Structures are given as structure tokens and as C-alpha cells.
């Protein structure tokens, strides 16, 4: 395998795996989903995105002995005090579908703010060299927009169909994946993470 470095991706979310995998495809890094090691997710008991990302990365690094990348992301709506935030994936309950979450958010947000509720996607991404790494590399990406009442678009996942991207004039779910993977919160966080790693996990920038 030469000097290609294996890194475990601590996520079971197929949408995230697809997006992060394609963003990292050009690097000399072999990204292995944790499911390849038979790993399930771990309870996300943190009270912030960064705590949850660290919990996931540490668990994956511990179980596989590999460096790990994890992200925790979600949508924040201003008129709801930043909710659903870290609870985005389980907003309508522990077994809620993307559609359940999205419909509950529309109902709740538009009841409070009937005109273009301001919202943003947040992504906190972390890299751990090993499970006991005391200096994780942490990056953040933020994508500003607002909510639309009617879901639009077939791409993406989660809240993408109701998140309007002002400078593109459409929802996140209407963007071609290659555009979304350049401008989204996850893309911004990943770019920052790679900059901090000097583009080479294991070869951290000084």
C-alpha cells in the first residue's frame, strides 16, 4: 500500500460517508468507514457538537487502533434559540426519519417566525491520531441560510430540502453534489481540518 495512510471514519450515516469520502478522494488517504470493522455508533452524550465528534472519533480509534475522523453536525434556527442543534438527527424522537424531523422543524419554526426563519448548518470535525490523543485537531464549518416552507430538491439528506442557500438561489437539496461538496458546512470544516493537518494526517502542520 505504499505510504497511503488508513484513517477510520466514525460515522454510520450513508449520506455523510458519501460526502466525506468524495471530498477526500483526491488525497493519499485510505478512508475506511467504521462499519468495515463491524463498529456501530456510540451514544452521543455530549452537550456540544465538538464533544459528540470527539466521543465518536475516540470510540472508533480505540476499537480499530487507527487514526479517526468524526464530525458532528446539525442545523440551528435563530428563532428557536439555536434548536435543534445537536439534537438535529433525533429532533422528532430517537427513531425519527429525516422527513419526520424536517416536518417538525417546519411546523415549529414557522409558528414562531413566519417569514424566512434564519438558519445555519454547523459542522464540527475532529481528527485523532489515536484514542488517547490529547491534542485533537478540531475544525468548524458554518453555512448560513434560511428555511423554506416547502421541501425542494432530491439531493442531499436530512434538512437539505428546506435549507435555502441565498447565494445559489435554491435549497441545499437542489444543488448538484459536486457543488454542495465544495460549499457546504461539511466541506468548509473538512478543508480547515486538512489545512491544519498539513494535508497529511500524521504530518501535522507545525
pLDDT given at position 1: 41
State the Cα–Cα distance between residues 56 and 45, nearest whole angstrom. Answer: 10
pLDDT in tens, 74-100: 999 999 999 999 999 999 999 999 999
Q: What average pLDDT score do residues 63-82 get?
A: 96
pLDDT in tens, 129-177: 999 999 999 999 999 999 999 999 999 889 999 999 999 999 999 999 8
Cis before 84? omega within 30: yes
Choose which CATH entry (3.30.70.120, 3.90.950.10, 3.10.20.70, 3.40.50.2300) describes domain 5-196: 3.90.950.10
pLDDT given at position 117: 98
State the Cα–Cα distance between residues 41 and 34, nearest whole angstrom. Answer: 9
The ranges assigned to domains in the chain are 5-196
- 110 close to 149: Cβ distance less than 8 angstroms: yes
98 is catalytic: no
pLDDT given at position 3: 60
Buried b (16+ CB within 10 A) or exposed e, 2-20: eeebebbbbbebeebbebb
pLDDT given at position 125: 96
pTM for this model (two decimals): 0.88
Joined together, the cell numbers standing for residue 136 give: 485533537
Tell me how far CA of residue 88 lies from CA of 82, 99, 133, in angstroms: 11, 12, 28
Annotated active-site residue in 28, 30, 36, 72: 72
Amino acid at each position: 500500500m505504499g505510504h497511503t495512510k488508513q484513517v477510520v471514519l466514525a460515522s454510520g450515516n450513508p449520506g455523510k460517508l458519501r460526502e466525506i469520502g468524495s471530498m477526500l478522494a483526491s488525497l493519499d488517504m485510505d478512508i475506511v468507514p467504521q462499519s468495515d470493522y463491524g463498529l456501530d455508533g456510540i451514544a452521543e452524550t455530549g452537550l456540544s457538537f465538538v464533544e459528540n465528534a470527539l466521543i465518536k472519533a475516540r470510540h472508533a480509534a480505540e476499537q480499530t487502533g487507527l487514526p479517526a475522523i468524526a464530525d458532528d453536525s446539525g442545523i440551528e434556527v435563530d428563532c428557536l434559540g439555536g434548536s435543534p442543534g445537536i439534537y438535529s438527527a433525533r429532533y422528532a424522537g430517537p427513531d425519527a426519519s429525516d422527513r419526520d424531523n424536517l416536518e417538525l422543524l417546519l411546523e415549529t419554526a414557522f409558528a414562531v417566525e413566519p417569514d424566512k426563519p434564519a438558519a445555519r448548518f454547523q459542522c464540527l470535525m475532529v481528527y485523532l491520531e489515536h484514542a488517547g490523543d490529547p491534542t485533537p485537531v478540531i475544525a468548524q464549518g458554518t453555512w448560513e441560510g434560511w428555511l423554506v416552507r416547502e421541501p425542494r430538491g432530491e439531493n442531499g439528506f436530512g434538512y437539505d430540502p428546506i435549507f435555502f442557500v441565498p447565494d445559489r438561489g435554491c435549497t441545499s437539496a437542489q444543488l448538484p453534489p459536486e457543488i454542495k461538496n465544495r460549499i457546504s458546512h461539511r466541506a468548509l470544516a473538512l478543508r480547515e481540518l486538512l489545512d491544519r493537518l498539513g494535508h497529511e494526517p500524521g504530518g501535522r502542520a507545525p
